[in-house]
Amino acid sequence: MATDLQTRIDAMFRRDKLWALGFVVVLWSTLAFVFFSVNSLIPDDTMRVVIAVSAVILGLFNRTSFTNSISAIWTKPRRVTDSARRIGTSCGFTSTGLAE
């Protein structure tokens, strides 16, 4: 029973990581598209560098926040299931969902 729950949690965690990766790829694609779309409208090379560096910083911070969010979301369920396994309870889950 505990391994079934852990398997489901692991599958959900992998699925969430895949979705987060997809969002990060879309974000980077959008940043690149916008930069190259407005590149010809930027009159100064210094401004072009500032905008490019700003876009890279935005992308890095956003990617880091996705990674931290996924870790924070899934840390508590893992702790709960690990604690339940140690004390020998099912932590309120059955194979079909929450216990009644």
Q: Burial, 93: exposed, middle or buried (Cβ in 10 Å; 0-12, 13-18, 19+)?
A: buried
pLDDT in tens, 35-62: 999 999 999 999 999 999 999 998 888 8
97 compared with 71, residue with greater pLDDT:
71
Phi-psi domain of 72 (left: phi exceeds 0; alpha: psi -120 through 50; beta: other): alpha
Interatomic CA distance for residues 65 and 40, integer angstroms: 31
pLDDT at 26: 92
Q: What pTM does this model have?
A: 0.59
